[in-house]
Amino acid sequence: MPPVLRDAHDTQQLGRYFAGLWGRRSYAWYVAVSELRSRQITSRLGNVWHLLNPILQVLVYWVIFGLLVDGVARGVENYVLFLAIGVFVYLDFQRAAIAGANSIQNNKGLIRSLHFPRAIVPITAVITESLATVPSVLVVYATAVLTGAPLRWTWLLLPLVFVFQFFLNVGSALIAARTSTHFSDFNQILPFIFRLGLYVSGVLFAVESFASESQLRLFEINPAYCFIEIARWSIMGGELKAAWLVSVTLWLGALPLVALLWFRKGEELYGRD
Amino acid sequence: MAETETDASVVVDGLHVKYHVRAEGNHLASPLAGRGLRRRHLLEVHALRDINLRFDTGEVVGVVGANGSGKSSLLRCIAGLQARTAGRVLVRGEARLLGVQAALKPRLSGYHNVILGGLAMGLSRTEVDERLPEVVSFSGVGDAIWRPMETYSSGMRARVAFSIATMRSPEVLLLDEALAVGDRAFRDRSIGRIASMQDQARTVVMVSHNLDEIRRACSRAVWIDEGCVRLDGPASEVLDAYTSLSAG
């Protein structure tokens, strides 16, 4: 049965768009795996940098705020572990958004030559980054063991944090991808946004030791802060606040879908000069 | 209305394309030029004006016209890659555009590009693997298939790109000078493949400056001039009119 005549410019119906994305799952997997493989080839340490970079960051912050500057590590028992969880979870957000912002430009040739649901491009970028992040879970466990943190059953929940984070990352990557097609300068600004975000996500210090009760409410709006705190709870114990879970649930419910709808609205924009 | 016509695979109805490009201002004319500041203007380009066309299934249509006449814009509109200002473009099934500079991922090998292209078109991994040997041999680039595509000559790139684009033939194939840089042998094979697509009731629209190529492959031709259809009819008539004008 031949297909019907259809407007070439109609954005596909949402259902067909989803089906198109699902039909490209082997594409996404293939590209993610071969991208990681080619990183391994082009740089001597290859994907090790994906781990080495955050480990070095943790060391730098630990030397500065744990040893040299007094007061930042206030109220934290195991500051190295505290930092390691914060840095690894936060970097996962940062890398996904930056990869999303660059993805359209990096895949220009593909986008110009073939017709397919463009959202697969930023989504594939997030899958690539997420695969590269898998070993960081092990680094967090290793840090916990080496710093003598007591074993808890909740350690098993840490991978789940990253799984949920993946869906949020898909949302932010889609938004970053479309934004960067409107403003090419966005890719330059993005690292600074994340630099700023580092301080309002409680990566370096325990927010509750510094913020008032009303300020804490503002922090709880920030999904990065909530994800970091939930990850810390799973490894270091303490109180699991309902506000974090509510915030994370609302973000997960809204962001990926809203981002996909907004990205799809700009379907014709991608791949142009 | 057009969409009820059963044989049509592409219907272009009152299509206008106008776009704005950011252009650097004329340095000499700009009063700010002396201070090292360049003004940026939005330049309006009227690429297509009121195009009405209909291509049927099984038709191979050549599109001719001078550089900048709007041929590529027309193809990009049919492929859904270019926003239009007014009018409609209806396509039955998928319209795939193949242009000149079409390495999907220049840093990956031709082989990887074939797999990637197949998967992006929505084939499964098994389907891609099944077609892979045939696609590679059709491209005829030999062992170069293992080299990064950025090291290819433009002819080799065109061969691989054409092989990828036709590995699952779309309902409508749009070729924008896609064969121009290929050698004689590759062009012959490609025209053979286009003819076999015609037999499968596919529609092929090809833009080319090689009139001999159009004469061989197409039964019908459309002459686009300054964004308008100047002539549309049997290939030989349109080409004769076109050549007599460019000669005179």
Domains of chain B: 2-102+169-247 (3.40.50.300)
Across the interface, of A26, A38, A109, the residue whose CB is closest to B103 is A109
Find the closest chain A residue to B149 by CA distance: A109
Cβ contact, residue pair B119, A7, below 8 Å: no
Structure tokens at B121: 């078109």
Residues of chain A below pLDDT 50: 1
CA triplet B157, B163, B166: central angle to 5 degrees? 135
Q: Give B35's DSSP letter.
A: G
Closest chain A C-alpha to B229 CA, distance in angstroms: 20
Residue B4 C-alpha, separation from nearest chain A C-alpha, in angstroms: 9
If phi > 0 it is left, if psi is from -120 to 50 it is alpha, else beta; for residue A197 that is alpha
Is B108–A3 a contact, with Cβ atoms under 8 angstroms apart?
Answer: no
CB of A5 within 8 Å of a chain B CB? The answer is: yes
- Give kind and range of the element (H or E) at residue B42: strand B40-56
**Would you give the DSSP letter of residue A105?**
H
In the DSSP assignment, the letter for residue A159 is H
Cβ within 8 Å, pair B81-A115? yes
Q: Nearest by CB to A24, which of B93, B96, B119? A: B119
Mean pLDDT in chain A? 89
Residues in chain A closer than 8 A to B171 (CB atoms):
2-3
Using CB atoms, pick whichever of B82, B84, B90 lies closest to residue A5. B90
Q: With an 8 Å Cβ cutoff, are A34 and B90 in contact?
A: no
Q: Are A167 and A256 in contact (CB under 8 A)?
A: yes
Give tens-digit pLDDT for A46-81: 677 778 888 899 899 989 888 888 777 777 889 999
Cα–Cα dist B230/B89, whole Å:
19
CB contact under 8 A, A38 and B108: yes
pLDDT at position A113 is 78
Cα–Cα distance for residue pair B87/A198, rounded to 1 Å: 49
Quick: pLDDT tens for B9-20.
999 999 999 877
Residues of chain A with C-beta less than 8 angstroms from the C-beta of B78: 8
31-50 in A: which are within 8 Å (CB) of B? 31, 34, 38
CB atoms within 10 A of CB A196: 10
The distance of B83 to chain A (nearest Cα, Å) reads: 7
Q: How far apart are CA A142 and CA A126, in angstroms?
A: 25
Q: What is the pLDDT of residue B26?
A: 55
Model confidence pLDDT, tens digit, residues B231-244: 999 999 999 999 98
Please, which residues have CB within 8 angstroms of residue A35's CB and are 6 or more apart in sequence?
Answer: A128
Which strand (E) or helix (H) includes residue B73? Answer: helix B71-78
Tokens at B63, concatenated: 């599109």
ipTM tops 0.90: no
Establish, for the pair of chains A and B, how many residue pairs have beta carbons separated by less than 8 Å: 105
Q: In a mutagenesis test of the B interface, which of A9, A41, A265 is the best target, namely the one with the most B β-carbons within 10 Å?
A: A9
**Would you say residue B30 has pLDDT above 70?**
no
Q: What percent of chain B has pLDDT over 70?
A: 88
Sort out which chain A residues have CB atoms less than 8 A from B83's CB and list them: 9, 268
CA distance A190 to chain B (A): 24
Q: How close is the nearest chain A Cα to the Cα of B103, in Å? A: 6
Average per-residue pLDDT for chain B? 85
DSSP string, B126-150: HHHHHHHHHHHHHHT-GGGGGSBGG
What's the pLDDT at B34? 47
Q: Which of residues 60-119 of B touch A (CB under 8 A)?
A: 77-84, 88-99, 101-108, 112, 115-117, 119
